[in-house]
Structure 1
């Protein structure tokens, strides 16, 4: 008989174990040893003289089965299981079906009868792993990761080191169960978090606007905005240690023909504001991943005694009225194309043009660029490609309006990009140590929220690390875009919750219409009526105590309710 070590046993009796089955001779040993090892099973050294008449599971498996695909083996395993005596147990379930102690009663958990050799000295079948033949555990793990990502882009393999998982780390994706449990504004606590974030965003925006005077540094204003967001979000939900909150979009200040995303580093050339500059301030706040974005445009040193006129006034009035029209059109039952058409008509009334191809996104928890979008001034190809969508109750949108006094074509002029966002659908094994350390910090601190390189302590290493990450699309850049020199661009952005009783705007800037005098006005009768209609929500009686109770850990519970009638 086989002794599991390649030697023939001393006894001539019928030995048995779950690998060999009853009465296996040394002649059959080599073939069955290969079959057993093909399954990753240890070679049993049991040499019992007494063999039960009951066949065991592996006696039904021929050597040809050892390399067969697992689906092909299922009928054979079912037959083997049926041949087992009653009460022998049912197979354990698990990712790799790891079973310990096949020669003990625990071994019966797989459905095999226990080997008669119970002595530790006489049996080496201590533990085994039922695995696919010829497939390494590393490859199986990679396959499981790809399946868990829904077949997303394959990773380039792991790179040694803890931060190497930067490229191969599991991306935050949602299964069907997680999608079913997605948190929406149907829950009062979620609405409270949105409104708390909106309140902070509004206060920070107003503070930055007050500081934005002639002679002010854009870099200093951006730093002030980001610092204030972190300070204010740190005051709420203090007891929720695991809750993430903070910057949803870094403070960016774009002036005159600069369209968006200008947020300089200390090593970049700063811009000093001066009288007459058209300034756009854009920022975002999140509380537990629920995002509140806001943007506002104004002219430095404008006042009632010194109102703005000309093309600056035209573009600001056009952008503001586009935002007001969107507030009335983004409601359940309407289409995103209706908003696009209204924007084009209003902008053209002021001889202006919406920035081509810019998108307003649906917001979800931890997602700043949701699936449903509203496109501005699309090209013919973009009209074909852009998906039409209907607004639904309990959705949230960041409505972003950008209007130009020129042709409306924004281009990258070569300004350094400083704002990025993690793309969870991309995977890559980073090669450089600096890149891995940088990317690891990005995932730890910002997750999928946009961030600025200015937020890193070592700016030089951040500038180095971001290169490889961006090259392999692990990070999405928010490029600094420009309209033609001499033109002006205005921006207004607000966050709106589509509640059952009407849209609730939770963010807005301190706009003063009397400061801007344009010779143009909206000519379309339907749009005029739309803009003159009320944007306030219908009054609805409902209990708000539940939200207050669930948000008892927030230190500014009353503040969260102040924006309920924010329109």
Structure 2
């Protein structure tokens, strides 16, 4: 079903409003600066708390999330004060991905679990900001070293280090590859690209880097075009017209797994050609697209290492909730989803007063995800406040509002007015368990709790394994850590900025602002794309004849806070 929108309005939203001009570039740039500053602020909190022991107790995930969201909200309120923009806000709440957690974990203040980090953990901080719908998202993985010194005694070793190396190198390589769109003559000849950058080339490069470090690109990773109000925040809920991007799913691992198993070829469905036909609206992802100058891309790559496993297997995602693993797993990680999206298509007359009040607050927000704490009148926290008693008063007020909002949350969920952003964790399922399963329903079972892009509902098309059947195998799975890097880049054409030449504007991320953690991998780059990757790397370092990449710099972080929850 499609919305009844006139084609002229569609063209204005998807085409005219996405033409890069100086005004739009300024909004992108400021959103990137705000996101960069907030990420730097959270990393400083982690450093002070876990590495330098400057706080009485380590910050919990709840504290880091509310402090980060408050900082992000306050910083956004301090830009474009002259009324030049209609709205500005949080595009993605601060989430903390710890070890095998992939996305969506952002505990509320009333969560009693009090999650903290341990030495050797890898932690990914992800967040996003938008100004008038022009969005800048970022994610960065850091290592929690033993406390007591700013500089660790040695690098992180092992499988986690492999994943961090692969994610960092893949991200930097893709950014450089996108930059060659502005100067096609600089594309490495070894890529045989006919002077264009396509989705298939991007996928092959990333897969090659993952293979070199004995890693797998985790399902849900993507390199996608970003447009106004379309930055992937509602993927799996709303089908985006004219989608453009490379998306990784379990199906991308299937061919490699089949080649490594001596018995799997006998189980391939002969009548399942697993062909996906692109529809007229272009909502189904396909690698057959060309990257063009003047576009904005979000590079979001997650890597999972295979070094800890001696068997062949599949890396997939498990949706976590308060019931997950309660019956068949010991020490299971159980928690509630806290991030929600308003489905603006759904309308319903609500019965409860608390539900109507909550919906009224939600509808005043934008189309981006939110948390119940964001709906509090006491949000954001005044993080400049140094009085501990005053901070606790603010915390208590927001916690009280969160509990009140939960009363109206159930009806909004039941009437499908709100959709939960799932908390997902990476899991390794042995191939033997997959091949030995009895899939009587064939490919018809779809897991509705796991939102996916159109055309990607079937997890393993050649084997006919549905997503619902794959979900039943998770009880035989093992946790696998994930490293993630996400950055947003703009490919600015020559002449867009007065007196400016073509350049890559990196809104978020970048080695200048966020150096990768000190790790050491026993693996090194190899494969048929080694020369191309080396050439792309040299282009980013050649200031005279290379690719010009300009990074948005964060604002100066002055606010410090010492706060602990009761």
Shorter-chain TM-score range: 0.5 to 0.7
Answer whether contact 1:360 1:374 (CA < 8 A) is retained.
Answer: yes
For 1:374, the equivalent position in structure 2 comes to 246
Deviation digits for residues 122-149 of structure 1 (CA, Å, limit 9, x no counterpart): xxxxxxxxxxxxxxxxxxxxxxxx9973
Q: 1:514 to 1:283 in 2, by over 3 A?
A: closer
Superposed displacement of residue 487, structure 1: 2.2
Partners of 2:160 and 2:21 lie apart in 1 by 42
For 1:343, the equivalent position in structure 2 comes to 206
Q: Does 1:235 align with 2:236?
A: no
For 1:187, the equivalent position in structure 2 comes to 21
Alignment of 1:7-46 (within 5 A): none
Q: 2:375 aligns with which of 445, 449, 456?
A: 456
Superposed displacement of residue 431, structure 1: 4.3
- Which one has a bigger Cα radius of gyration? 1
Partners of 1:221 and 1:471 lie apart in 2 by 30
Q: Secondary structure of the equivalent of 1:282?
A: strand
Q: Secondary structure of the equivalent of 1:254?
A: strand
Alignment of 1:333-412 (within 5 A): 333-369=196-232, 371-379=243-251, 386-388=285-287, 389-406=289-306, 407-412=314-319
Q: 1:441 aligns with which of 357, 361, 372?
A: 361
Of structures 1 and 2, the one with the larger relative CO (CA 8 A, separation 6+) is: 2
Partners of 2:178 and 2:204 lie apart in 1 by 13
For 2:393, the equivalent position in structure 1 comes to none
TM-score between the two structures when normalised by the length of structure 1? 0.61
For 1:17, the equivalent position in structure 2 comes to none
Deviation digits for residues 410-434 of structure 1 (CA, Å, limit 9, x no counterpart): 1112231111222334444444433
Two-structure CA RMSD over aligned residues (Å)? 3.1
For 1:418, the equivalent position in structure 2 comes to 338
Q: Does 1:507 align with 2:508?
A: yes
Superposed displacement of residue 534, structure 1: 2.1
Q: Secondary structure of the equivalent of 1:150?
A: coil
Q: Does 1:245 align with 2:250?
A: no
Superposed displacement of residue 516, structure 1: 0.9
Q: 2:481 aligns with which of 468, 471, 488?
A: 488
Q: Secondary structure of the equivalent of 1:408?
A: strand
Q: 1:473 to 1:498 in 2, by over 3 A?
A: farther
Deviation digits for residues 285-311 of structure 1 (CA, Å, limit 9, x no counterpart): 112221111000011127453211111
For 1:497, the equivalent position in structure 2 comes to 490
Answer whether contact 1:419 1:477 (CA < 8 A) is retained.
Answer: yes
Q: 2:523 aligns with which of 520, 526, 543?
A: 520
Where do 5+ consecutive residues of structure 1 fail to align? 1-145, 152-172, 541-558
Aligned residues: 378
Q: Secondary structure of the equivalent of 1:346?
A: helix
Answer whether contact 1:367 1:448 (CA < 8 A) is retained.
Answer: no
Q: Secondary structure of the equivalent of 1:498?
A: strand
Superposed displacement of residue 281, structure 1: 0.1
For 1:529, the equivalent position in structure 2 comes to 532
Answer whether contact 1:185 1:191 (CA < 8 A) is retained.
Answer: no
Moved more, 459-468 or 250-259: 459-468
TM-score between the two structures when normalised by the length of structure 2? 0.61
Deviation digits for residues 464-503 of structure 1 (CA, Å, limit 9, x no counterpart): 4333333444333221111245521111000011222243
Superposed displacement of residue 250, structure 1: 0.4
Superposed displacement of residue 174, structure 1: 7.4
Partners of 2:178 and 2:404 lie apart in 1 by 43
Answer whether contact 1:263 1:418 (CA < 8 A) is retained.
Answer: yes
Partners of 2:30 and 2:139 lie apart in 1 by 17
Partners of 2:275 and 2:41 lie apart in 1 by 38
Where do 5+ consecutive residues of structure 2 fail to align? 51-57, 182-195, 233-239, 253-273, 278-283, 307-313, 322-334, 377-400, 428-477, 494-501, 555-566
Superposed displacement of residue 363, structure 1: 1.9
Answer whether contact 1:192 1:560 (CA < 8 A) is retained.
Answer: no
Q: Secondary structure of the equivalent of 2:23?
A: helix
Q: Does 1:310 align with 2:315?
A: no
Q: 1:327 aligns with which of 175, 190, 200?
A: 175
Partners of 1:259 and 1:218 lie apart in 2 by 15
Superposed displacement of residue 522, structure 1: 1.5
